[in-house]
A and B are shown apart, each in its own frame.
Chain A
Amino acid sequence: MRSLIRHASETACLTRARNGDRAALGEIYRRYQLRIFRFVRVHLGNTAEAEDITQMTFLRFWRAIADFSEKKGSLAAYLFTIARHLVIDLSRKHKEVSLDVVEYLPLGAVEDDGLEKEEERAELQKLLTHLSDEEKTLVSLRYFEDLSFKEIAAVEGSQEGAVRVHLHRILGKLRVIAPQSL
Chain B
Amino acid sequence: MKTPSILTQAKKQYLAQKPTATFFKSGWKLLEERLGEPAHTVLHGFFFAQMPRFAIIAFVVAVICGGNVIYVAQYSKPGEPLFAVKRASETVAQIIIGRRPTEAEEASKSGDVQSPAQQPDTSPISTPKDRKKTVESLKNGKTEVPDRTTGNAATEQIQQQSGGQSSGQSQNGSLKSSENPAEAVEKVVNEVVPRVNLPAFP
Contacts and interface: CB of A to CB of B under 8 A. Distances in A.
B22 to A, nearest CB: 8
A47 B38 CA distance: 28
Contact of B17 (A41, A123, A139): A41
B18 to A, nearest CB: 4
A63 B11 contact: no
A51 B192 CA distance: 134
B13 A123 contact: yes
B15 A29 contact: no
A51 B20 contact: yes
Given A26-B28, A66-B49, A127-B10, A51 B23 contact: yes
A152 interface: no
Interface stretch (A80-88, A95-103, A108-116): A108-116
B109 interface: no
Contacts of A19: 42
Nearest to B40: A66
B34 interface: yes
Interface in A130-172: 139-140, 143-144, 171
B100 interface: no
Contacts of B3: 171, 174-175, 178
Q: Is the interface of B mostly helix, strand, loop or mixed?
A: helix
A67 B40 CA distance: 9
Contacts, number: 128
B31 interface: yes
Interface residues of B, number: 38
Interface in B101-135: none
A108 B21 contact: yes
A91 to B, nearest CB: 18
> Which one of B16, B17, B19, B28 has the highest number of Cβ atoms from chain A below 10 Å of its Cβ?
B17
B4 to A, nearest CB: 9
Contacts of B13: 114-115, 120-121, 123-124
A55 interface: yes
Interface string A9-28: 00000000011101001100
Interface residues of A, number: 52
A178 to B, nearest CB: 5
Contacts of A140: 14
B27 interface: yes
A154 B40 CA distance: 24
B32 A47 contact: no
Contacts of B9: 123, 182
A34 interface: yes
B49 to A, nearest CB: 5
Interface of A: 18-20, 22, 25-26, 29-30, 33-34, 37-38, 41-42, 47, 50-51, 54-55, 58-59, 62-67, 69, 107-110, 112-115, 120-121, 123-124, 127-128, 139-140, 143-144, 171, 174-175, 178-179, 182
Given A67-B45, A113-B16, A182-B9, 19 more contacts: A18-B38, A18-B42, A19-B42, A22-B32, A30-B28, A33-B27, A38-B17, A47-B19, A59-B35, A62-B38, A66-B45, A107-B16, A108-B21, A110-B19, A110-B20, A112-B18, A114-B13, A123-B10, A182-B6
